[in-house]
Structure 1
Amino acid sequence: MTAVYLSLKQVGERLGVKNAAAYRLPEPDAMIGTTRGWLPETIDRWNSARPGRGVGGGRPRKEER
């Protein structure tokens, strides 16, 4: 069976972001020349283990007046 690897663009689509290169992605599962490739399972596992926004939930919202 042929393994299917995700390109950087496909990783971004899978994560729902425009620029996946801005993230510290895991080591690629394959290299073809200088092109990196990830197995879908690798990206899914990495994404599920990423830390959230923290206990405080980020910056407090401004109060409406």
Structure 2
Amino acid sequence: MTVRYLAIAGIATRVGVSPNTIKKYADDGRLPEPDAITGDGPKSVRGWLPETIDAWNASRPGRGRKAVNDQ
């Protein structure tokens, strides 16, 4: 079975914010540790399991909008 991970754009869609916002969260260390990393160096890609992002989104302070799954 293939495991599907969310990248920056997928997280943004899931939580209802822009990809730029999620990139800033990642750069600032406000996202949880990734569940997977592929590649090496600056071209590496981080991935998060949907349940990791759902738990983070449910507990993050200042949620201004509802998550896509909550609608």
Bucket of the pairwise TM-score, normalised by the shorter protein:
0.7 to 0.9
What TM-score do you get using the length of structure 2 for normalisation?
0.67
The runs of 5 or more residues in structure 1 that have no matched partner are: 54-65
More helix by share: 2
Identity of aligned residues (%): 60
Partner of 1:44: 54
Matches within 5 A, 1:21-60: 21-23=23-25, 24-33=30-39, 34-52=44-62
Q: What is the alpha-carbon distance in structure 2 between the residues aligned to residue 41 and residue 6 of structure 1?
A: 10
Larger Rg computed on CA atoms? 1
What TM-score do you get using the length of structure 1 for normalisation?
0.73
Q: What is the alpha-carbon distance in structure 2 between the residues aligned to residue 26 and residue 46 of structure 1?
A: 7
The runs of 5 or more residues in structure 2 that have no matched partner are: 64-71
